[in-house]
A and B are shown apart, each in its own frame.
Chain A
Amino acid sequence: MAQHNDVVNNLYKSKEYFERSIWDMGWDEVIPGAAVYSFEGEIEHTVVNTLPEDRNVAETNSMNKYVGDWRVLKPVWNADLCIDCQNCWIFCPDTSIISRNKEMVGIDYNHCKGCGICSDVCPTNPKSLVMFNEQIANEDALNQWPEKKKKGEK
């Protein structure tokens, strides 16, 4: 997928990435009380200034939990139409719209649940984010993009 670039990919780390994956642990290695860490080791409170893909997230961080299969409709992003207004980024109830330096980068399909709010709040005409069935490839979706709406057309 064209927009599924490295930034988005780097947000999701598989079991192989971690030196000691939780999936290799026995009962005596789990954290007492089923406490779940967000980051590997200690962090500075200034971690908010570090980009998500550069943070040393723990395997148990929900960032590494794939929930893309909750979705049957997916938002497809049309870079040619996008004006980088950041509306979708603001309104996404998850953090699945990825934007860097106020420029749209792509959609985090590992965490997007397909609610459609991003498409709803997109102000361009035609919309730069359109909901398509999950089974349609993004390339095909871009080829069947809706036409520009006329004044007064719903």
Chain B
Amino acid sequence: MAQNKKIMELNEVEVWDGNYANASALRQAGVDVVAAYPITPSTGTVENYASFHANGYVDGEVVIVESEHAAMSGCVGAAAAGARVATATASQGLALMIEVLYQASGMRMPIVLCLVNRALASPLNVNGDHSDLYLTSQSGWISLDACNPQEAYDLTLCAFRIGEHKDVRLPVISNQDGFMTSHTAQNVKPLSDEVAGAFVGEYLEVNSLLNFDKPVTHGVQTESDWHMEHKAKQHDAMVKASKVIEEVFEEFEKISGRKYNLVETYKTDDADVVIVCLGTTYETAQIAADNMREQGIKAGVLMPRVFRPTQVALLAEKLQNVKAVVCMDRSAPGGQLGQLFQDISAALINTPARPLMSNKIYGLGGRDMTVLELEDIYKEAASDVKNGKLSGAIQEWIGVRGSELKYYNVEGK
């Protein structure tokens, strides 16, 4: 399906929160099946979509299931049957469906998952952090990250084009920060139903179960005989998907005027100190970087717009002339260095660049991250550059009550 029969008239500028933006993108994409289970803060995505459905704006099916595991299972079944499929979840819901995420990517089902990033219990917490986003990091799903409702809308639309491309055929996650994006109404310039529908296009069926002219089995078992070949093919498609993502972003720019990049940067070209982060922090850090530049510190910000597949070469290229890189991970690291720190370090390790690398753990469970704190991070990084070494440890927890919390004091250069 490409477009619903009933058109919704939209204003040039709408005031949407991230969930409504997601729901609108799903509606305009003409999704055949949405199988979903509600969980804060992603409930609004499904709730608004179900409301569109109830009011006749959605020709596809909405399947209310008994759990997130069933939601993703329903999505896999519908996708295997030959349908355009989407769902939404967060946190524990994502954790419950994680098994089926691997099924979806291994079976090469181009499902779109609107993941509204929220902390993982325990302690139970409904607010935003990137624990669930990181949990998907090896699941074989393409992972895009939005900073605001406009980007969430745009990326969810792009997700269909990327995942369904004949050379990709992989599921795609459209991430946004729980509450900071999902529940914060902001200006969004939507595309018209016609333009968005034409952009997403007709669904390309590949090996559909419902194509009776070519009977096919999905979800097969392989052992030591064939498992590795299929995983190799899947990984290859994932790595090469970057090219398709770029093409889709370029095409999206033509119809919307909004340009997305595999790796987003803000004033990194001449920067000495760069903060690497995901989600809403990318916007806050830009304000801090501007303030720092007024004080003579060449600050920049980098955000992997495409979290997976990891943009190894591009990340290395963008950070080649930087003197200190602060990787900010918004997820409890569980006894290791943060995911972004690992990704960025890995990208740089075989290149001539030798910036001071540090890792900040911040914003867990919705803890605020202010401009002032980000400025302090820049100042510390600039002072480290002056001293030629880190002022203590690689990892530091910031914005936490109590005494200083630093780990991994490895003597640098």
- Residue numbers of A with Cβ under 8 A of B are 25-28, 30-39, 41-45
Contact = CB atoms under 8 A, between A and B. Distances in A.
Interface of B: 106-109, 169, 206-207, 212-218, 220, 222, 226, 228-230, 232-234, 236-237
B214 A30 contact: no
Point out which of B109, B216, B220 has the most chain A C-beta atoms below 10 A from its C-beta: B216
Contact of A38 (B108, B216, B232, B233): B216
Contacts, number: 66
B220 A34 contact: yes
A68 B233 CA distance: 32
Contact of A44 (B169, B206, B213, B236): B213
User: Sorted from nearest, which 7 A-B pairs have the closest CB atoms?
Assistant: A33-B108, A27-B232, A27-B229, A38-B215, A36-B217, A33-B107, A32-B108
A28 B233 contact: yes
Contacts of A44: 213
B229 A30 contact: yes
A36 B217 CA distance: 5
Contacts of A30: 226, 229-230, 233
Contacts of B226: 30, 34
A28 B301 CA distance: 38
A45 B213 CA distance: 6
Nearest to B166: A32
Contacts of A35: 107-108, 207, 216-218, 220
Contacts of B107: 33-35
Given A26-B229, A27-B229, A32 B237 contact: yes
A2 to B, nearest CB: 34
Given A27-B233, A28-B236, A45-B212, A34 B207 contact: no
B230 A34 contact: yes
Contact of A33 (B212, B218, B228, B236): B218
Contacts of B230: 27, 30, 33-34
B24 to A, nearest CB: 30
